[in-house]
């Protein structure tokens, strides 16, 4: 099959003025030699199809990225729960409670298809809502148990490109926190003026 693009003009006279209108036509030459003219509506349909395909591909890539973050965060949080119990940070009761929640989320994760494809998304459009809800549950567990590193928490809270929103002058400070501290839980709140003063002081150090 061969595509030929033909541009031609149509002359029209209106109010003693000659207009030249350029139009485009795509001719599809099939092996049999028969021509099929693609008019503007066909070109528009092809363009629309390409846009829909790109959109679906972007959604699939995002879902697979979320699945990767979910799995890595589950591993990080589970390790942190064990370390917190061994360090006597949490009680045996909380250890069993948190590990039960983590195992249940891991089972839910195992039931999801991996990797997500466009064809699977078309057959099971609700899978994106399942992944979104699972991500929400992971975040709630991280709030209770923390994770192995600060970066793991930033990643699950803000996405894989979380570091793009960090100002360069705070990068070294965050790296220090990531190396020196293991968060045992997470609290999300608005900016406190006192906390901003502390950050300003640390920046001077």
Q: Is the pLDDT of residue 108 over 90?
A: yes
pLDDT at 131: 93
pLDDT digits (tens, 9 = 90+) for 110-121: 999 888 888 888
Q: Which residues contact 51 (CB under 8 A, 6 or more apart)?
A: none
Q: 3-state class of 172 per DSSP?
A: helix
> What's the whole-number mean pLDDT along residues 193-202?
42
Give the full edge-to-edge strand order of the sheet including 35-38: 2-14, 17-29, 35-38
What's the mean pLDDT in 85-89?
Answer: 90
- How far apart are the C-alpha atoms of 26 and 167, rounded to whole Å? 51
How many Cα atoms sit within 13 Å of 192 on the Cβ side?
7
Helices (H), the chain: 40-86, 92-110, 118-123, 127-145, 150-158, 171-180, 193-204
* Per-residue pLDDT tens digits for 21-55: 444 444 444 555 555 555 666 777 777 778 888 88
Residues in the chain, overall count:
205
- The CA–CA distances, whole Å, from 31 to 3, 37, 38, 98 equal 12, 15, 17, 65
Structural domain boundaries in the chain? 2-38, 61-204
pLDDT mean over 142-152: 91
Count the neighbouring beta carbons within 10 Å of the beta carbon of residue 141.
Answer: 23
- Interior/surface letters 26-38, b for 16+ CB within 10 angstroms, e for the rest: beeeeeeeeeeeb
């Amino acid at each position: 099959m061969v595509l030929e693009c033909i541009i031609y003009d149509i002359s029209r006279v209106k109010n003693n003025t000659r207009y030249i209108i350029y139009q485009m036509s795509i001719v599809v030459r099939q092996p049999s030699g028969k021509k099929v003219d693609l008019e503007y509506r066909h070109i528009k349909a092809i363009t629309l199809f390409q846009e829909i395909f790109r959109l679906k591909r972007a959604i699939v890539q995002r879902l697979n990225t979320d699945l990767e973050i979910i799995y890595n965060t589950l591993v990080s949080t589970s390790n942190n729960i064990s370390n917190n119990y061994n360090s006597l940070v949490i009680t045996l009761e909380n250890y069993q409670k948190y590990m039960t929640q983590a195992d249940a989320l891991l089972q839910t994760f195992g039931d999801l298809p991996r990797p997500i494809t466009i064809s699977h998304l078309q057959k099971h459009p609700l899978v994106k809502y399942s992944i979104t809800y699972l991500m929400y549950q992971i975040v709630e567990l991280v709030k209770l148990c923390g994770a192995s590193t600060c970066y793991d928490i930033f990643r699950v809270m803000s996405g894989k490109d979380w570091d793009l929103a960090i100002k360069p002058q705070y990068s070294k400070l965050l790296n220090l926190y990531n190396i020196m501290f293991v968060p045992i839980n997470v609290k999300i709140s608005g900016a406190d003026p006192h906390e901003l003063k502390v950050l300003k002081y640390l920046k001077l150090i």
